[in-house]
Structure 1
Amino acid sequence: MRLTDRRFAALLMLPAALFLAVFVALPLLQFVFNSFFRYNPIAGSPHTFVGFGNYVRAFTSAEFGNSALRTVVYTVMVVTFEFVLGLTVALLFSGLGNRSRIFRTIFLYPLMIAPIVAGLLWRFLLIDNSGIVNQLLYEAHLISSPNQIQWLSDPNIALFSVALPDIWLTTSFISLVLFAGLQNVPGEILEAARIDGARYPTLLFRIILPLLRPVIAVALIVRGVDAARAFDTIVVQTNGGPQNSTNVLSLLVYNTQIANGNPGLASAMGTIYLIAMMGIAIIAVLTIWRPGSDH
């Protein structure tokens, strides 16, 4: 059989395809399959088919609804801060040109830190009574006492506090992606706009950002999905507390399966979770990237 370019390409992709089939597709199918059953592997109870009972129970659960809302708020907050900061830094690096090489390297250092380590670090910085952040604010006379702001104990601000490690860790990723996209923006278009008298805000919002739509779509989708499944940084800081104010969907699914011993319900919650993220990703591609559009 003659080895054509197409067949050669298929052979090159075969190992990766097999890996994804064994370690991604099969576990995912098993996960969805389990959502239609009620069982407890720890107690040794048999699989009882309940149809869509687990899905009904998930949708009618106030805890699931609240966790979903917290996940949305957390994701929007993290991605918004990261995009604004990342775009600002990317524009700054692009303006500096080659002079920004050292700064780009330093700015990427947080990406090398494991999320659980970042969570422990920020817990040490924000912990009540002895946190370094409060101590610095106190010495700067911005607060009246070192324990005035209960970063991780106040339910009103705990969700924002646990988002700080995520923002600190991955803003550099957004910056890197947007900086790479800025290198492909045609300089002659910007120069022509400047000659026509366009000021920088006009260049940014009417030329640069529209040309960066595919890059922005990729960055927001990747970071949005990643932020929506945040787990380790939150667990090591608050473990879902105080008063469940940081109990996002990933923690709820984990606790439902491990602590409550209900894998069927956890699988149903996770399946809903997965479908919702896929839908949001598709909407983001169609609205931000707009494939096939020239504008």
Structure 2
Amino acid sequence: MTTTTRERPVTTPAARGPRTVTRRDRRRFRLTDSRFALFLMLPAAAFLAAFVAWPLVQFVYNSFFKYNPIAGSPHTFVGLRNYVQALTSADFGNSALRTIAYTLIVVTLEFVLGLTVALLLSGLGNRSRVFRTIFLYPLMIAPIVAGLLWRFLLIDNSGIVNQLLYEAHIISSPNQIQWLSDPNIALFSVALPDVWLTTSFITLVLFAGLQNVPGDIIEAARLDGARYPTLLGRIILPQLRPVIAVALIVRGVDAARAFDVIVVQTNGGPQNSTNVLSLLVYNTQIANGNPGLASAMGTIYLIAMMVIAIVAVVTIWRPGSES
């Protein structure tokens, strides 16, 4: 009896197909909200790093050296000598005081006018839409254009402002008030274009904050017999504290670095009465050819602005406070 053995067919390995994507791989490559937000921030972060962070680092680095790029002199390390020279300079101290005065004038007038207009617009409700649009028009004007415009309005002998005051019998002659030539009032005069330009910004921010003030609290206070000054001081302004802090910090820093509005009107004159820190830093680097000292002045200026912003946040906003 013979037995037949059946041979098994030789099987060839199957061709390897595409790799199966597991659930872990899908979780790894899934575009989450945080990754999507990171991708959106990358272009802005790259822009800030290239055009803000790196120039700022170079600016601070140059403050420790003395050199003149126009004359081709080499970089000489001087340590803190530029900072000592800046802090002991009478021009730097006087310019710092003018900068503080200019900032206080601009921010105070803008806040008072902006809060007043924001309360009026909030009281009008939907009827204020047209007025809001018209009131925002100055924000579309470039600061240098606003400076030139107000220079023609306030210029001596032929300014429109003096002519209107003369025709209204407020002043006795069209050249009685020397807006841009009198050192006693020149700093206030050059602040007027800045106030005219950006009061609408303060108004817009405060008006947006007023929309979030709870109406039931105000109504309950009115039923208790509270008058409007009490409502404003005890309820509305405390509710607007974070908004006020943001508005004052943004406008304070912006006003403290004012440059183009002042340059086109007085260029720091008369008698250096409008020579603020931004003009001093510019003239130190360009006119005097001392970038190291100018960098030291700018660094001190930057540190002071950061300290003032932190103090404003802590004192006005008071994050974490219950009251």
TM-score, length-scaled by structure 1 = 0.99
What is the one-letter code of the residue matched to 1:114?
A
1:254 counterpart residue number:
282
1:95-106 paired onto structure 2 within 5 Å:
95-106=123-134
CA distance in 2, matches of 1:50, 1:115: 37
Is 2:284 the counterpart of 1:273? no
CA distance in 1, matches of 2:149, 2:102: 20
1:84-123 paired onto structure 2 within 5 Å:
84-123=112-151
Is 2:142 the counterpart of 1:127? no
CA distance in 1, matches of 2:269, 2:196: 21
SS of the equivalent of 1:152 reads: coil
Deviation at 1:157, TM superposition (A): 0.2
CA distance in 2, matches of 1:208, 1:5: 36
2:164 maps to which of 117, 136, 140: 136
SS of the equivalent of 1:197 reads: coil
CA distance in 2, matches of 1:12, 1:158: 46
What is the one-letter code of the residue matched to 1:113?
I
1:212 maps to which of 237, 240, 255: 240
SS of the equivalent of 2:44 reads: helix
1:2 maps to which of 17, 29, 35: 29
CA distance in 1, matches of 2:248, 2:223: 33
CA distance in 1, matches of 2:38, 2:127: 43
1:190-229 paired onto structure 2 within 5 Å:
190-229=218-257
SS of the equivalent of 2:29 reads: coil
Query: What does the per-residue CA deviation read over 1:182-234, in whole Å, with 9 as the maximum and x for residues that have no partner?
Result: 00001001001101111100000000000000000000000000000000010
CA distance in 2, matches of 1:86, 1:283: 22
State the identity %: 87
2:197 counterpart residue number:
169
CA distance in 1, matches of 2:154, 2:216: 48
CA distance in 2, matches of 1:12, 1:27: 23
Deviation at 1:6, TM superposition (A): 2.5
Deviation at 1:119, TM superposition (A): 0.2
Is 2:195 the counterpart of 1:151? no
Write out the 4+ residue segments of structure 1 that deviate beyond 2 Å after TM superposition.
1-9
SS of the equivalent of 1:177 reads: helix
CA distance in 2, matches of 1:224, 1:193: 33
CA distance in 1, matches of 2:266, 2:91: 17
SS of the equivalent of 1:142 reads: coil
CA distance in 1, matches of 2:85, 2:234: 47
Is 2:23 the counterpart of 1:16? no
User: How many equivalent residue pairs?
Assistant: 295
Deviation at 1:14, TM superposition (A): 1.4
Is 2:314 the counterpart of 1:286? yes
Of Structure 1 and Structure 2, which has the larger fraction of its residues in helix? 1
CA distance in 1, matches of 2:29, 2:180: 64
CA distance in 2, matches of 1:250, 1:288: 27
What is the one-letter code of the residue matched to 1:115?
P
TM-score, length-scaled by structure 2 = 0.90
Deviation at 1:116, TM superposition (A): 0.3
Unpaired runs of at least 5, structure 1: none
CA distance in 2, matches of 1:240, 1:59: 20
Root-mean-square deviation over aligned CA pairs: 0.7
Higher mean alpha-carbon deviation, 7-16 vs 94-103, is at 7-16
CA distance in 1, matches of 2:274, 2:100: 12
Rg bigger for which structure? 2
Unpaired runs of at least 5, structure 2: 1-27
2:100 maps to which of 51, 56, 72: 72
Deviation at 1:163, TM superposition (A): 0.2
1:185 counterpart residue number:
213
CA distance in 1, matches of 2:275, 2:134: 33
CA distance in 2, matches of 1:108, 1:13: 29
SS of the equivalent of 1:259 reads: coil
SS of the equivalent of 1:237 reads: coil
Deviation at 1:87, TM superposition (A): 0.1
